[in-house]
Amino acid sequence: MADPRDPFAGALADGQSGGRTNGEPIRIAPIVGVAAAQVQAWPGRKADLAHSLAPLGLTLPDGLAFTETGGRLCGRIAPGRYLIFSPDTVADIATAVPGSVGAVADLSHARAGVRISGGSVEALLAKGAALPFDPAGFPPGTLAQTSIHHMGVLILRRSETVFDLYVLTSFARSFADWLTDACREFGWITAHPTRLAPTADVPA
């Protein structure tokens, strides 16, 4: 019985597979137990925001990239705007940021995440988005926001062959449909749901 809290509603349950069987399949794993918060600093207050978040062990990245500290990922998604993913809670983030420095919105339930890995991940993503996915054009540790099949998606590159993808919760099953269909020529298998983990611990 599918977990009622699972936005993929069993579409990516452990042990499913499909597509061609004559190569290295793409592994797909839902990312579970992730809390998320969007933090916006007021103009010119970036330093103050960094200062507020430092006691929580968080550092703010530059560019379109993400930092990893204490099991949390902090991604910069627009000037002054950050999306923080946490394996537990984001309540402490809201309390840490004073109203004069910025605003914190809890979006823990608003995103569904999935991790894809394997040799063909770049070719898979190229089907959905018109961005360069080679390591030079999209280095590990950086992120991008784009659309795949009319669904907004946040893409974080965890390593050369591992990407984490986040879509709006309401699109989760449609996104799973797109993903498994696009994987047909590579073959795909679902792996055990994974938790947010530092890149060093992310299996290739």
Partner 1 sequence: MRIPCPVCGPRSVSEFTYEGDATVTRPALDADADAWFAAVYQRANPRGPHSELWHHMGGCRSIIRVERDTGTHAITGASLVSPHEASE
Partner 2 sequence: MTGFRLDEGGALIDRARPLSFRFDGHSEIGFAGDTLASALLASGHRLFGRSFKYHRPRGLLGAGPEEPNALMTLGDSSDREPNIQATMAEVYEGLSAESQNRWPSLKHDLMAGPLALMAPGLKAGFYYKTFMGPGRKAWDFYEPIIRRAAGLGRASHAPDDSRYEKTNAFCDVLVVGGGPAGLAAALTAARSGARVLLADETAAFGGSLFESLASLDGMAAQDWAENAVAELTALPTVRLLPRTTVYGYYDGNVLGAVERVQDHLAERDPDLPRHRHWTVHAGRVVLATGAIERPLVFAGNDLPGVMLASAVERYLTRYAVAAGRSAVVFGANNAIYRSAERLKAAGVDVRAVVDARPNPPQEPAHHIASAGIALHAGTLVSEATGRRGLKAVRLARADASGQPRDGWTETIETELLAVSGGWTPTIHLASQAGGPPVWSADRDAFLPGTPREAWTAAGAANGTADLAALMADGARAAGEAASSLGFDSGVTVVPTIEDPDATATPVRPLRAIRTRKGRGKAFVDFQNDVTASDVRLAHQEGYRSVEHLKRYTTLGMATDQGKTSNVNALALMAEAQGAAIPEVGTTRFRPPYTPVSLGALAGREVGAHFRPVRRTPMHDWHVAQGADMIAAGAWMRPRVYRRDGESVTDAYIREARTVREAAGMVDVSTLGKITVQGPDAGEFLNRVYVNGFGKLAVGKARYGVMLREDGFVYDDGTTWRLADDDFLMTTTTANAAGVLARLEKHLAVDWPDLRVAVASATDQWAGLALAGPKSREILQRVIDDLDLSNEGTPFMAVRRAHVGSMPVIVARLSFSGELAYEVHCGARDGLAVWEAIHEAGQTSGLVAYGTEALGTLRIEKGHVSGPELDGRTTLADLGMAKMASTKKPFVGQALMDRAAMTVADRKLMVGLKVLDDRPVRTGAHIVSDTMPESVASLGHVTSPTYSPALGCHIALALVSGGGKEGDRLTVVDPIRSGEHIPVEVVSPHFFDPEGDRLHG
59 versus 170: smaller Cβ distance to partner 2: 170
Q: Is 41 in the site for partner 1 (CB under 8 A)?
A: yes
- What is the closest distance, in whole angstroms, from the C-beta atom of residue 20 to partner 2 in the complex? 5
173 forms part of the interface with partner 2 (CB under 8 A): yes
Residue 19 binding partner per list partner 1, partner 2, none, with a CB distance cut-off of 5 to 8 Å that depends on partner kind? partner 2
Say whether 113 sits in a helix, a strand or coil.
Answer: strand
**Residue choice 27, 46, 115, 157 for contact with partner 1 (CB under 8 A):** 46
Residue among 45, 56, 77 at smallest CA distance from 145: 77
- Residue selected from 21, 62, 100, 201 as contacting partner 1 according to rule CB under 8 A: 62
- Number of residues assigned to the chain: 204
| 147 in contact with partner 1 (CB under 8 A) | yes
* Ordered DSSP codes for 121-174: HHHHHHHH--S--STTTS-TTBEEEEEETTEEEEEEEEETTEEEEEEEGGGHHH
79 burial type by CB count under 10 A (0-12 exposed, 13-18 middle, 19+ buried): exposed
What amino acid occupies position 37? A
CB of 100 to partner 2, least distance (A): 7
The token pair that represents 125 in the structure block: 């993503």
Q: Binds 17, which of partner 2, partner 1, none (CB < 5 to 8 A, cut-off by type)?
A: none
Of 184 and 203, the one with the shorter C-beta distance to partner 2 is 184
Considering the complex, state which of residue 33 and residue 70 has its C-beta at the smaller distance from partner 2: 33
Tokens standing for 83?
């999306």
Cβ proximity to partner 1, 15 vs 43, nearer residue: 43
Amino acid at 78: A
Q: Detail the DSSP E strand segments found in 19-141.
A: 26-32, 35-41, 66-69, 72-78, 81-86, 102-106, 111-117
Catalog residues that contact partner 1 under the rule CB under 8 A: 41, 43-44, 46, 62, 64, 77-80, 130-131, 144-147, 152
Catalog residues that contact partner 2 under the rule CB under 8 A: 4-5, 7, 9, 19-20, 38, 40, 42-43, 99-100, 102-111, 123, 126-127, 129-132, 134, 137, 149-151, 168-175, 177-178, 181-182, 184-185
